[in-house]
Amino acid sequence: MLVLASLAAGFALPHLRFVPVTPRTATVVADATLNLNLPDLLSTTALFLGGVRLEAPLESPAGVVVPTRAPSPPLAAEVVPARSPAPPFAIEQLIIKERLGKGTQSEVLLGVTPTGSVAVKIGLKAFAIAREASVLSVMSGVAGFPTMLYYEPDGPRSPGGFLVVSLLGPSLDDLLRTRQSQSQSQLTRLSGPTLLRVARCMLRLIRRLHVAGYVHNDIKPANILLGAGSSMQPTQLHLIDFGSCTNISSSTLAHRMVNENDAQAYGPVGTATYASVAADANVRTMRPADDLESLVYTLCDLASGSLPWKGQPDAVKVAMKHENLARGGTELFEGIEDAAASVALQAMWAEVRRCQGADSSEGAAGGTAVDYEACMVALGGNSIDSDPPADAISELAFMAALGQFVPALPDLSFTHPTLETEYTREDSSSTVRRL
């Protein structure tokens, strides 16, 4: 497991495989100059990694260990969504194939087991994924959320901790970047009907998270994924990345950090482009309305191809969003061409302003509960509880709905401010390179 920790620390490893071995003292065979500081490995396990073989003494596996914490009570006596049990998982049969992505707190690797592919998330810092594991201990198996198959907490064998979850499909951000690279346009717009399907699905998911006692605090296209399956198969949307989640206090609807003493270590909550005004102000009491606010920003970005503050310095983004919330935010909807989508998003925005106290004396510290049913009606949905098959989305359908392009800029190359991706036009095609 600690080889995974070394990989998370930046050691480039092309292939990693777990196989059972005879118990021995830990040894390194091959290049002794690697100087890897590795503790004990997982029980009865050896790792092959290029020319390096690591073996470990036999131990009793601890299995899935989830941080002990009593789940927060549900909102307004609502019932926590039903969960499906996770299937048995054998960590010794896991094979790591490649890196899928990397952030400041963790990185995600593609893993393969005899029963299928999985995602392995490794913490890059101490306690980096403990909060996510705690949330998934409650949400794993709930429709629209990843299934947690295995969790190893921080410790000698895994300094940053790691967890194994079900592998899902591409994110909306991935699909947007792919479509942009195929076009001669800088940005793309999502069609109105598909946007409303995305909105209904996401409203159900954030409500399930809120009912279970959490606020997500990082709603954005990169954290919204399609389900696993072929590109032609309609699937339910999924919400991922729970490292910024906060707990809900059922008595006041206020939210607090999972560990308030570590608040400074975690820094500001969310992503600047989509974060709520309260999150921008570094307020440590987050509410369900903050997720709804981030969802509106996300949907407006998908519908119009951008946001008024996208690409601006963080300080400018904060000021623009604060003024936007105070003045009503009509500029948010100016680039949305579909009338039905514009009306629906404006209704959701009115609910955000009501809950955030922008139209009353409560101010930003108000505690008004979100009216999810009213938002669902505005989006053209009938039920906030169930997932109608008609709202499922396939990769091909989503890509086809990105058919409206914003006129291209004349520049030969540019850097997208949010995606940190450089797009270079060569002849009649476009290529994408991650910076």
Return d(Cα 324, Cα 311) in angstroms, integer: 16
Task: Please tell me whether residues 57 and 186 are part of one structural domain.
Answer: no
**What digits encode the pLDDT tens for the residues 392-401?**
999 999 999 9
How far, rounded to the nearest angstrom, does the alpha carbon of residue 401 sit from its chain's CA centroid? 22
Domain CATH code at residue 44: 3.30.200.20
Task: Please tell me whether residues 147 and 207 are part of one structural domain.
Answer: no
Domain CATH code at residue 225: 1.10.510.10
Return d(Cα 281, Cα 284) in angstroms, integer: 9
The answer to whether residue 422 sits within a structural domain is no
Other residues' Cβ atoms within 10 Å of the Cβ of residue 12: 7
286 in Cβ contact with 246 (< 8 Å): yes
Domain boundary among 113, 143, 166: 166
Q: Is the pLDDT of residue 31 over 50?
A: no
Check residue 52 and give its pLDDT: 27
Say what percent of the chain tops pLDDT 90: 46
Return d(Cα 198, Cα 190) in angstroms, integer: 10
Task: Please tell me whether residues 14 and 151 are part of one structural domain.
Answer: yes
Check residue 104 and give its pLDDT: 82
**What digits encode the pLDDT tens for the residues 68-114?**
434 444 454 455 567 777 777 878 889 999 999 888 888 999 999 99
**What digits encode the pLDDT tens for the residues 38-61?**
233 233 233 322 222 223 332 333
Distances (CA, A) of 42 to 100, 190, 242, 302, 317: 23, 46, 26, 44, 46
Q: Among the listed ranges 180-184, 304-308, 376-380, which one has the minimum average pLDDT value?
A: 180-184
The answer to whether residue 426 sits within a structural domain is no
Domain boundary among 127, 147, 166: 166
Check residue 265 and give its pLDDT: 42
The whole domain housing 232 covers: 172-405
Identify the residue whose tokens are 């009649």.
428
The token pair at 172 is: 């909306």
The token pair at 139 is: 């949400």
Return d(Cα 308, Cα 310) in angstroms, integer: 6
The answer to whether residue 420 sits within a structural domain is no
Return d(Cα 76, Cα 134) in angstroms, integer: 22
Give phi and psi for 191, each to the nearest 5: -65, 155
The answer to whether residue 201 sits within a structural domain is yes
Give phi and psi for 231, each to the nearest 5: -65, -20
Averaged pLDDT for residues 317-343: 90
Task: Please tell me whether residues 213 and 72 are part of one structural domain.
Answer: no
Higher pLDDT, 332 or 21: 332
Q: Share the mean pLDDT of the chain.
A: 73
For the chain, report the end-to-end CA distance as a whole number of angstroms: 29
Q: CB-based burial of residue 147 (10 Å sphere; 0-12 exposed, 13-18 middle, 19+ buried)?
A: buried
Residue 427 pLDDT level (bands cut at 50, 70, 90): very low
Averaged pLDDT for residues 120-124: 93
- CA-CA-CA-CA dihedral for 188, 279, 162, 86, to nearest 10: -80
Domain boundary among 127, 151, 166: 166
Residue 336 pLDDT level (bands cut at 50, 70, 90): very high
Check residue 211 and give its pLDDT: 95
Higher pLDDT, 281 or 132: 132
Interhelix angle for 314-327 vs 339-356, to 10°? 90
Q: Is the pLDDT of residue 261 over 50?
A: no
Strand ranges in 348-428 using DSSP code E only, listed in sequence order: 404-405, 413-416, 421-426
Return d(Cα 207, Cα 127) in angstroms, integer: 27
* β partners of residue 96: 16, 111
Residue 296 pLDDT level (bands cut at 50, 70, 90): very high
Residue 421 pLDDT level (bands cut at 50, 70, 90): very low
DSSP letters spanning 185-245: -S-EE--HHHHHHHHHHHHHHHHHHHHTTEE-S--SGGGEEPPSS-TTS-B--EE---TT-
Check residue 252 and give its pLDDT: 38
Identify the residue whose tokens are 């000698």.
156
Averaged pLDDT for residues 405-424: 38
Averaged pLDDT for residues 21-41: 29
Number of domains comprising the chain: 2
Determine the Cα angle at 123 with ends 120 and 422, to 5°: 80
Averaged pLDDT for residues 340-350: 96
Task: Please tell me whether residues 204 and 146 are part of one structural domain.
Answer: no
Give phi and psi for 234, each to the nearest 5: -65, 135
The token pair at 200 is: 């209904």
Check residue 22 and give its pLDDT: 31
Say what percent of the chain tops pLDDT 70: 66
Residue 391 pLDDT level (bands cut at 50, 70, 90): very high
Identify the residue whose tokens are 């947007």.
176
Task: Please tell me whether residues 71 and 132 are part of one structural domain.
Answer: yes
Task: Please tell me whether residues 301 and 365 are part of one structural domain.
Answer: yes
The residues, ordered by sequence, that sit 6+ positions from 247 with a Cβ below 8 Å of its Cβ are 72, 213, 214, 255, 256, 257, 258
The residues, ordered by sequence, that sit 6+ positions from 304 with a Cβ below 8 Å of its Cβ are 189, 333, 334, 335, 336
Residue 253 pLDDT level (bands cut at 50, 70, 90): very low
Return d(Cα 302, Cα 341) in angstroms, integer: 11
Task: Please tell me whether residues 219 and 121 are part of one structural domain.
Answer: no
Averaged pLDDT for residues 127-148: 94
Q: Is the pLDDT of residue 227 over 80?
A: yes
The answer to whether residue 433 sits within a structural domain is no
**Model's pTM, two decimal places?**
0.72
Task: Please tell me whether residues 123 and 210 are part of one structural domain.
Answer: no
Averaged pLDDT for residues 347-375: 77
Return d(Cα 313, Cα 392) in angstroms, integer: 36
Task: Please tell me whether residues 228 and 100 are part of one structural domain.
Answer: no
The token pair at 296 is: 């509106």
Task: Please tell me whether residues 286 and 384 are part of one structural domain.
Answer: yes
Return d(Cα 72, Cα 395) in angstroms, integer: 35
Of 298, 260, 330, 319, the C-alpha closest to 418 is 298
